[in-house]
């Protein structure tokens, strides 16, 4: 009997690469969509264990339905990760962020229906959970909390709006078309590099990256929801494989204030320059992964995640 085939969209990205690595290690045949399989930035995928015979890269674009159909054909499951993440101000958020996220997700889902895929796991984010000013301040945010779309638009939180819109549309499509859709909503992911880890890298260099619009005076002592990318990949596989998986799963190991994280890093790396001059506490929310843990999810100690992250920065020559 042939091994199960799974398609991972945006396979060359930070989170997706770890998901591809995990799937290959479990014996899956993986179809990975990338913009151009010949580009050097995707070479790491072909070096993964078992990639030579169990990984096939497809040239695809979220806005090109035909390319997605080709990649998803023959797969029993799809893990939809691809989504633009802004690292600078957007000049046209509708075109640069919202259209690829929303229209791209719908294209993936339609291709899944055509291929008779059994389950889709949509990789959302806590971005689609946490921005809800109507949520009671003293109540921990769980899967029933959704970011307020009008609020996100008014405050120009385009990434949060895109993830919220796309996830909502994914569930709506699944319900209307009989497609089994599950979502995993990770927090800031650490280990190796992407935008989340860029935050930590700058953090240990004593530099604060402004995440949300607005003036910043000093370093705001905000809450970070942190998860190791390896644990996030485990969560995705659980959501994909467990028959009882349904709905959304917040994937966060630690709710930690930036100031506390700085002190933790300082204790681990006393010679490293870390962020200082923190403002007042700004703990506007707290999230829980209780539902995911009931599915069987476990996570690493925070120290292990931080140490492995710093090691990876040094190995890559990004940190002295």
Average pLDDT per block of 10 residues along the chain, 320 residues long: 84 93 97 93 93 96 96 97 77 87 96 97 95 92 97 92 96 98 87 51 57 52 86 97 97 89 82 66 80 97 88 74
Q: What is the pLDDT of residue 199?
A: 60
pLDDT at 280: 65
Residue 152 C-beta-side C-alpha neighbours within 13 Å: 21
Catalytic site includes residue 163:
yes
CATH match of 5-187+227-252+286-299 with 3.90.1150.10: no
Domain limits, the chain: 5-187+227-252+286-299
Task: Return contacts of 109-112, CB within 8 angstroms, 24+ apart.
Answer: 109/80, 109/170, 109/173, 109/174, 109/177, 109/179, 109/181, 110/65, 111/65, 111/68, 111/69, 111/71, 111/72, 112/72, 112/78, 112/179
Total-model pTM: 0.89
Could you give the CA distance from residue 113 to residue 179 in angstroms, rounded to a whole number?
A: 7
Catalytic residue among 141, 163, 242, 264: 163
30 within 8 A of 6, measured Cβ to Cβ: yes
Pull the structure tokens for residue 183: 């979502």
Q: Give the rounded distance of the alpha carbon of 256 from its chain centre.
A: 18
């Amino acid at each position: 009997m042939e091994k199960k085939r799974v398609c991972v969209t945006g396979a060359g990205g930070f989170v997706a690469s770890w998901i591809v690595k995990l799937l290959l290690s479990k014996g899956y045949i993986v179809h990975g969509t990338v913009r151009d399989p010949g580009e050097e930035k995707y070479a790491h995928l072909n070096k993964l264990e078992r990639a030579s015979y169990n990984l096939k890269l497809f040239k695809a674009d979220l806005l090109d339905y035909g390319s997605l159909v080709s990649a998803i054909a023959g797969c029993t499951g799809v893990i939809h990760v691809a989504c633009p993440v802004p690292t600078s101000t957007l000049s046209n958020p509708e075109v640069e962020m919202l259209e690829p996220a929303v229209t791209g997700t719908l294209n993936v889902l339609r291709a899944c229906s055509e291929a008779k895929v059994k389950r889709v796991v949509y990789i959302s984010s806590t971005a689609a959970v946490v921005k809800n000013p109507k949520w009671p301040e003293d109540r921990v945010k769980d899967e029933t909390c959704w970011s307020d779309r009008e609020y996100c638009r008014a405050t120009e939180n385009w990434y949060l709006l895109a993830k919220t819109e796309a996830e909502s549309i994914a569930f709506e499509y699944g319900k209307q078309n009989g497609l089994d859709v599950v979502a995993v909503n990770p927090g800031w992911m650490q280990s190796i590099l992407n935008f989340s880890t860029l935050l930590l890298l700058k953090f240990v260099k004593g530099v604060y990256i402004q995440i949300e619009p607005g003036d910043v005076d000093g370093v705001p002592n905000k809450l970070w929801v942190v998860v190791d990318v390896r644990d996030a990949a485990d969560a995705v596989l659980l959501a994909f494989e467990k028959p009882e998986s349904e709905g959304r799963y917040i994937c966060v190991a630690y709710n930690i204030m930036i100031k506390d994280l700085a002190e933790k890093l300082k204790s681990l790396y006393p010679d490293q320059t870390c962020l200082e001059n923190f403002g007042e506490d700004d703990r506007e929310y707290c999230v829980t992964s209780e539902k995911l843990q009931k599915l069987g999810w476990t996570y690493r100690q925070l120290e292990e995640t931080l140490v492995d992250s710093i090691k990876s920065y040094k190995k890559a020559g990004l940190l002295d």
